[in-house]
Amino acid sequence: MSKPTEKSLAEINQSVAVPDVYQTAFWQKFLAYSGPGALVAVGYMDPGNWLTSLAGGGQFQYRLLSVLALAIIVAMFMQALAIKLGVVARQDLAQAIASHLPKPIRYAAWILNEIAMMATDLTGVIGTAIALKLLIGLPLLFGILLTIGDVLIVLVFLRFGIRRIEFIVLAAILTVGIIFGIEVSRAHVAAGAVATGLLPSSLIFKNHQALILSLGILGATIMPHNLYLHSSLAQSRRYDTHNPAQVQEALRFANWDSTVHLIAAFLINALLLILGGALFFGQTSHLASLEAVFNGLKNPAMVGHLASSLMSGLFAFALLITGLISSITSTLAGQIVMEGYLHIRLPLWQRRLLTRLVTLIPILIIGGLVGFSDQAFENLIITAQVALSVALPFTLFPMVALTSQTKLMGKHVNSKLTTNFGYLLATIITALNIYLIISL
């Protein structure tokens, strides 16, 4: 197979220098390679994950923490395959898949993945609009329209270069983690109950609603755009592709970077689930609603000493941060898909504006039909997961197949065990998503 003539995300490809393979300390190398994992981790903290984590905690306290942990472990495996494709083959997932497809099927795959990219962007739009409503009382319609302007934010960030973007995203993740850490610490959570929740439980086999929520957690964790994104961002480091030792080191530290940031994503989602469980378990309120949590954090009757406008304001601010930061990652992922499948390159701000305008069409239509309410749009977030679920098998199975090709991967080709395990996970995730769609 011939390699693509165009570099993936040429603006950032091989733009970050890394230390010499033989002379630099571990932590210096780790810091040099660290960053792409942070951009990917943001995808595991979108409003869809917020809703499933809060609902899981509110209804079953801490007993679904083990499901969250399992979902992140599976994500680590899949992201490792995406990293390997990018580092070893120097292709992103879209380029690699497209090179095997005849033109009509390639166009169909592009359309399917564009729908998935827009579904990803939709959750960021709605999350940002809800956050603005909670923080400053801005009506949802105006908040949604205002998100068109975040193209300017993305443009400014991208002018900083990928390294500064990585630091900005890392700072955002730390900020969100600190906010939820403060809120959970004030809730006086029982550490023993949390530890017990990390142990596998038979609950999901006995309680249908627990099973549905568990499937929602698993289904919302593995998303196509994160795999496309990571396979490209892994190429942002400037290592010697002809030096086997440096390629091996790039793989090693890219996986360290991914693992550390996915653990951070797990901790933030776990804090959300713990917050829902500590404050709302046993309550009759609709816990899947972001506004209900926001209002509950101000209500002494619900959360006792934790109640304050500061706590609820911090919750909404964290939602705003994740909504805005997801704009960066969805823009990059959309560009990767367009370049890989169609060989069309647009300036990133044009790509961002195009994606956002198309994303707004279904939002405005649904808002016009059912009204611009938080609940309607949170239901829309759940519906968007269906689009991601449909696109998922068309991403997972090709990725496992590609990384199992000796011609493409050389000595880094998947072992038979890795290949079979990858196909097994892809089949299970696909089946769970189909079951979740049927159960909606």
Mean pLDDT lowest among 107-111, 227-231, 360-364, 368-372? 368-372
Nearest to 116 by CA among 228, 250, 272: 228
Facing residues of 238 across strands? 17
Q: Spell out the domains of the chain, with CATH numbers in brackets.
A: 16-439 (1.20.1740.10)
Buried b (16+ CB within 10 A) or exposed e, 237-252: bebeeeeeebbbbbbe
Q: Is 237 helix (H, G, I), strand (E, B) or coil?
A: strand
> Higher confidence at residue 186 or residue 244?
244
Q: Is 238 helix (H, G, I), strand (E, B) or coil?
A: strand
Nearest to 57 by CA among 148, 189, 171: 189
Q: What is the largest CA-CA distance in the chain?
A: 65
**What tokens appear for 16 in the block?**
């970050």
pLDDT for 160-193, tens place per residue? 778 888 888 899 899 999 998 988 888 778 889 8
At 396, is the pLDDT very low, low, confident or very high (cuts 50, 70, 90)?
Answer: very high
At 354, is the pLDDT very low, low, confident or very high (cuts 50, 70, 90)?
Answer: confident
- Hey, which of 41-55, 99-113, 395-409 has the most confident mean pLDDT? 395-409
Give the pLDDT of residue 213.
Answer: 78
Eight-state DSSP code of residue 415: P
**pLDDT greater than 50 at residue 292:** yes
**pLDDT greater than 50 at residue 2:** no
Pairing type for strands 237-238 and 16-17 reads parallel
> Higher confidence at residue 367 or residue 189?
189
Separation between Cα atoms, residue 426 and residue 440, nearest integer Å: 21
Q: Is 17 helix (H, G, I), strand (E, B) or coil?
A: strand
**pLDDT greater than 70 at residue 285:** no
At 19, is the pLDDT very low, low, confident or very high (cuts 50, 70, 90)?
Answer: confident
Q: Is 89 left (phi over 0), alpha (psi -120 to 50) or beta?
A: alpha
**What tokens appear for 347 in the block?**
């300036």
At 1, is the pLDDT very low, low, confident or very high (cuts 50, 70, 90)?
Answer: very low
Give the pLDDT of residue 305.
Answer: 66
Mean pLDDT of all residues in 331-360:
80
At 287, is the pLDDT very low, low, confident or very high (cuts 50, 70, 90)?
Answer: low
Separation between Cα atoms, residue 440 and residue 435, nearest integer Å: 9
Q: What is the mean pLDDT of the chain?
A: 84
